[in-house]
Structure 1
Amino acid sequence: MKRHQDILERLAKEKHLEVLDLCEILGVSAVTIRKDLKFLEQKGLLYRTHGGASLDNPYINERTVIDKEKISVEEKNGIAQMAASRIVENDSIMIASGTTVQALSKFVQPKNKLTVITSSLNVVMHLIHDKNIEILQLGGYIRHSSASVIGNYAEYILKNISCSKLFLGADGIDLEYGLSTTNLEEAELNKKMLKAAQKIIVLADSSKFGKKSFARICDLSRVHEIITDNGVSSSIRKKLEERDIKVTIVN
């Protein structure tokens, strides 16, 4: 069927599609589009998500930081470089775990003094040689897959901390489900980080949109800005901006 082919061709270009957008583009009802998506999913050609469809399995399996570092390298570096421009003089920031936020540490150039709180061991190793950066390494159990800490010790420290910005990564960004990650304990730590920061900036390449992972971090209403690459669809960008989330696209 031509409509099915149109859906698959658009999905190949945009990575994620919304049901309502397909209704408008193809001139059919939401009921028809949902039937189309169900049929195509049964054929193994796509995955249905809440309100749309994706080429990637929305329930992401956990991968090691070494594996993730090899994916979308150019996009992640561009996102990280843009994020670094958000750091101001004498700033205090928090950097969570994940390869995109980890890449941020390569581009940090402190204006006078900078305080960095982080759960990531790799972030510490990138920043440790700069004497203008004061580092607070959160303590706890080490997740081997992400080279970051989790657990009650890190969460306890965060109860007594306030910083200007949290740079947060995610394995999934879904308009309804919100931000999510593969590990429940990491999600819990991220929630404590959210409470300790005045501004939440999410760093994520476009492949993360339209996906849900195992552990939910927060609703998108908590997010102030998302920095991503130009692979994100104009439809998703518009819907995020309608929720007063600043979307910064790195070309």
Structure 2
Amino acid sequence: MSLNIIDRHKLILEKLEADGFVSVNALSEEFKVSLVTIRKDLKLLEEKKLLFRSHGKAILVNPYITEHSVNIKEKIHAKEKRKIGMAAAELLEANDSVIIASGTTVTEFARHIKPLEGLTVLTASLNTAVILVNYKEINVMQLGGMVRSSSASVIGPIGERMLAEFTFTKLFLGVDGIDLDYGLTTTNLMEASLNKEMIKASQKIIVLADSSKFNKKGFGRICGLEDVDQIITDSGIDERTKNKLIDMGMELIII
């Protein structure tokens, strides 16, 4: 007995909830209906904002990121960002020379940094520089370049050339999206380019990202996950994503 449209939609949504995605081909075979019928089903469900269609499959949420200003972003997942920032601050050591990139999560990290002997910080974030300049024990270097107002940070070739002159022990990187296949992304192409140079200049790459950033993509690709040493995130990360990252050999700190 074939399923009616209501039953198909109910089962599609149940499978999405359980697995995170559904395949058009797999649904066609399981429900014994044509690919055209499944595509129509998914289109109707997408119009109701119950899923998002992408490359022969459907997923629960739109993976593409819309840029927001730093004033809006700092209010989103604020509690998680604060905990991530606190955990990141524990990784600093005396005589570290580190890069702190841009974003609200890394700014939260800066708020929890304690003065350490010989600590040098180079940052693209204006807010981070303002926070850390109050500590005479910390050597603060502001990266040069064009100021991007939406993130209160600098971007551009001046900063990229500056990075080529130094070597750092750690990079603390905030991102807009983490896709297990595509890697790390941000919403701005010039910021992505600057982040690539930060990675080249650093020995250890540490990503600070709340769990909402997973399975999302931004416009500018920074790097693949093979270039990342460690990710600090919150307990909202789903088990499927967590297990895949562990299987990839990723070092995870979950707060």
Of structures 1 and 2, the one with the larger relative CO (CA 8 A, separation 6+) is: 1
CA contact (8 A) 2:210 2:234 kept: yes
* Structure 2 residue 56 is matched with structure 1 residue 53: no
CA contact (8 A) 1:206 1:232 kept: yes
| Cα distance, 1:31 vs structure 2 | 5.9
* Structure 2 residue 12 is matched with structure 1 residue 4: yes
Give the structure 2 partner of residue 146 of structure 1. 151
Give the structure 1 partner of residue 42 of structure 2. 38
Alignment of 1:1-251 (within 5 A): 1=7, 2-7=10-15, 10=17, 17-19=20-22, 29=26, 35=38, 38-39=42-43, 40-48=45-53, 53-55=59-61, 57-250=62-255
CA contact (8 A) 2:51 2:59 kept: yes
What SS class does the counterpart of residue 141 from structure 2 fall into?
Answer: strand
Alignment length, in residue pairs?
Answer: 238
What SS class does the counterpart of residue 166 from structure 2 fall into?
Answer: coil
| Cα distance, 1:19 vs structure 2 | 4.8
- Whose radius of gyration is greater, 1 or 2? 2
What SS class does the counterpart of residue 212 from structure 1 fall into?
Answer: coil
Which runs of 5 or more residues in structure 2 are unaligned? 1-6
CA distance in 1, matches of 2:236, 2:28: 28
Over the matched positions of the two proteins, sequence identity in percent amounts to 48
Aligned Cα RMSD in Å?
2.4
CA distance in 2, matches of 1:31, 1:203: 40
What SS class does the counterpart of residue 90 from structure 1 fall into?
Answer: coil
What SS class does the counterpart of residue 93 from structure 1 fall into?
Answer: strand
What SS class does the counterpart of residue 197 from structure 2 fall into?
Answer: helix
Bigger mean CA deviation after superposition, 45-54 or 137-146:
45-54
1:212-242 C-alpha deviation (Å, 9 max, x unpaired): 1111111111011111111111111111111
CA distance in 1, matches of 2:247, 2:210: 20
| Cα distance, 1:54 vs structure 2 | 3.3
CA distance in 2, matches of 1:210, 1:32: 26
| Cα distance, 1:49 vs structure 2 | 5.2
CA contact (8 A) 2:231 2:252 kept: yes
Distance 1:214 1:112, change over 3 A: same
Q: Which amino acid aligns with 1:135?
A: V
What SS class does the counterpart of residue 237 from structure 1 fall into?
Answer: helix
CA distance in 1, matches of 2:154, 2:163: 13
Q: Which amino acid aligns with 1:65?
A: V
CA contact (8 A) 1:49 1:211 kept: no
Give the structure-2-normalised TM-score: 0.86
| Cα distance, 1:182 vs structure 2 | 0.6
Distance 1:31 1:100, change over 3 A: farther
Give the structure 1 partner of residue 4 of structure 2. none
Distance 1:5 1:46, change over 3 A: closer
CA distance in 2, matches of 1:189, 1:158: 9
| Cα distance, 1:61 vs structure 2 | 1.5
Distance 1:135 1:86, change over 3 A: same
Give the structure-1-normalised TM-score: 0.87
